[in-house]
Amino acid sequence: MSDAPRPPEGDWLGTPYLKFERHGPLAHCTVDRPEARNAMTPAMYFGVRVAVDVVNRDPDLAGLLITGTGDVFIPGGDLGGRGEDRWGEHFEWLGMDVTPFDAVRHSRKPVVSAINGICQGGGLMIAMLSDVAVASDRATFRAPEALRGIADTHYGQILPHQIGPARARDMLLTGRTVDAATALDWGLVSRVVPHEGLLEFATLALTECCWAAPEARQALKRVINEQYGKYDRMSMDASLASDECVEGYQAFVERRAPTWIPEELRPEGRL
- The CATH number assigned to the domain holding 134 equals 3.90.226.10
Residue 18's alpha-carbon distances to 34, 81, 214, 239, in angstroms, are 11, 18, 27, 29
Q: Is the dihedral of CA 34, 35, 37, 41 positive or negative?
A: negative
Residue 122's alpha-carbon distances to 11, 63, 206, 207, in angstroms, are 22, 21, 21, 25
**pLDDT digits (tens), the chain, 271 positions:** 456 788 999 999 999 999 999 999 999 999 999 999 999 999 999 999 999 999 999 999 999 999 999 999 999 999 876 678 887 765 566 678 889 999 999 999 999 999 999 999 999 999 999 999 999 999 999 999 999 999 999 999 999 999 999 999 999 999 999 999 999 999 999 999 999 999 999 999 999 999 999 999 999 999 999 999 999 999 999 999 999 999 999 999 999 999 999 999 999 999 9
Would you say residue 271 lies in a domain? no
Residue-level pLDDT at 1: 41
Residue-level pLDDT at 96: 86
Would you say residue 13 lies in a domain? no
Residue-level pLDDT at 87: 79
Q: Which domain holds residue 166?
A: 18-258
Q: Under 8 Å CB-to-CB from 45, ≥6 apart: which residues?
A: 77, 94, 98, 99, 100, 122
Would you say residue 85 lies in a domain? yes
Would you say residue 79 lies in a domain? yes
Would you say residue 1 lies in a domain? no
Would you say residue 264 lies in a domain? no
Would you say residue 236 lies in a domain? yes
What b/e string do you get for 140-151 counting C-beta neighbours within 10 Å, with b at 16 or more? bbbbbbbbbbbb
Residue-level pLDDT at 82: 67
Indicate whether this model's pTM tops 0.75.
yes
Would you say residue 36 lies in a domain? yes
Number of folded domains that form the chain: 1
> Residue ranges of the alpha helices (H) in 67-213?
101-105, 122-129, 153-163, 165-174, 180-186, 198-211
Residue-level pLDDT at 95: 77
Q: Under 8 Å CB-to-CB from 5, ≥6 apart: which residues?
A: 14, 15, 43, 84, 85, 86, 87
